[in-house]
Structure 1
C-alpha cells in the first residue's frame, strides 16, 4: 500500500504540492490524473525519495522509500523511459539493475518475456522507439516482483497493440494484489483500466473516488464519461465532495 499524507513542496516560491493526500490500495489500479503542473510527477518523485517534501509523509507499506532494503523488491517505478544507458542492450540494462538488488539473470529473462522484449533483448536500447523503451521501463519496474508500482505516463508512445497490452498488464498486476498507481492524460484508457481515480490540480486532490462512483454522481450520469468528469473537475478546480465512503472512514 502507498500512502501520501499532507505533502507540501515549493520550488523557488512556486507551490508544487499543497497538502497532497491519498492512498493507493492493493488489488486496484489507481489512476492519477490532472493537467500539466498539477503535481503528479513531483508526488511520484517524493514517494520514491528523489525529491524531499517540505512537509508531510509518503510511505510504502508504512516506510519511507529511503528506509527500504532492496527497494526494487518493495516498489517498482517508471518515471522516464529515456533514463537508460543507450549503449547497453536491453538485457544488459536489466542485468545491471538486477545485480544491484541481488536478483538473478533468470528473473531478467522472465520480465523480458513479460514485456514482450525477448526478441530484441540483445539490441541496444538507444535504438528503441519510445513504445519499446516504455516496455523496457515496465520490465525494470517488475524485476523485483514488487507489491507496489508507480508508472508515470506509461501509455506515451504506445501503438494500439501496445495500449491493449498495457491495459491488460495493469489489470493483471492489480488482480495479483498489487497496488498500482498510474499517471495518465489518456482518460479513455483509465476508464477501461482504473478501479479508482485521484484527480489533482494545483498540488492538491480535487477528487478521490472509484471510477464507477465518479460516473454515477456526475451531472448527466447516464451519458457521462470519465473524460467529462475530469474536464469539469479540472476546469472549475472545486473539490469533489462525494468521496468514496469506504475511504472516508
Structure 2
C-alpha cells in the first residue's frame, strides 16, 4: 500500500461540542508531518477517527487508500502511539509486546528487536507499571514499530523524555521518515517540530488553518512558534494572563 494518511471533510460532534468541522489533510511519505493546534482543536479526535476508534459524522479517513478497519494485520500497516499509559501495569514490558506480537502473528524475536531499538533491551523483564513516563513512551514507540509499518501516528512522543531521550527521538523520527514512511507527529513542542518536521498541519476548532511546509512558514515568521501563534490567535478558547 502507498504510505499515506488521507483525511477528507471529517465532521464530528460530541453532543453540542463540534470536535471536527470539515477537517481535510494528507500525510505523505518521506518526511515528518507536524500536527499542531490548541487544546481541544481536534488533533486527538482526528487521530482516533483515522484509527477507527471513533466514527465520524461525515467525511472519510483512509490509510493507504483504504479505511483502517479493512486492514488485515493492521500493525503491519500503521503503528500508533496515542496513550503511553495504555498497558497492563503488572505485565513486563516484553510480555506486553509479546501479547501484541502474537495477536498479529509476529515472531518473538521481533519483540526483542524493538526493545533494543527503543533502548529498553535491559528493562524488558521489568513490570511496565513501574516505568517512568519516559520509559512508557519508549515502550509505546516499541509497540508502534512492532509490525515495521509504513505509516506512523505519534501523539506527543516527546512527553516525559529526558534530554538524551529527546535527542534519540529526533534521530528516530528522522530515520523513519528517511526510510520512506509517512510519519505524523502531534506535539505542542514547536521547537522540536521546527527541527524535525518538513511539513506541518495547523488546526483550530476542528478546521485546518494551515497545511504547508515548515520552510514556507519560516519565510514569513522568525520561528514556527511565532507562526503558530499568529495562525491560532482566534482559535484558542482559553487565554491565560501571559497570553493576553
Of 152, 155, 159, which aligns to 1:156? 159
**Alpha-carbon shift at residue 176 of structure 1 (Å):** 0.4
What residue is the counterpart of 2:173 in the other structure? 170
Whole-angstrom distance in 1 between the partners of 2:129 and 2:228:
36
Alignment partner of 1:66 is 2:81: no
The DSSP-based 3-state class of the residue aligned with 2:21 is strand
Post-superposition offset of 1:3: 0.4
Structure 1 gaps of 5+ residues are: 238-249
The DSSP-based 3-state class of the residue aligned with 1:177 is: coil
Aligned residue in 1 for 2:231: 233
Q: CA deviation at 1:199?
A: 0.2
The answer to whether 1:100 aligns with 2:98 is: no
Distance apart, 1:236 and its partner CA: 3.6
**Alpha-carbon distance between aligned partners in 2 of 1:165 and 1:204, rounded to the nearest angstrom:** 32
Aligned counterpart, 1:120: 123
Pairing 1:1-249 to 2, within 5 Å after superposition: 1-216=4-219, 218=220, 221=221, 224-237=222-235
- After TM superposition, give the deviation of residue 201 of structure 1 in Å: 0.2
Structure 2 unaligned blocks of 5 or more: 236-244
Structure 1 stretches of 4+ with a deviation exceeding 4 A read none
How far apart, CA to CA, are the structure 1 residues paired with 2:17 and 2:175?
Answer: 39
- What CA RMSD, in Å, does the superposition of the two structures yield over aligned residues? 0.6
Aligned counterparts of 1:103 and 1:210: Cα–Cα separation in 2: 37
Structure 1 residue 121: deviation in Å?
A: 0.5
- The TM-score normalised by the length of structure 2 is 0.94
Q: In the aligned structure 2, how far is the partner of 1:113 from the partner of 1:3?
A: 32
Cα displacement (A) at 1:52: 0.2
| Structure-1-length-normalised TM-score | 0.92
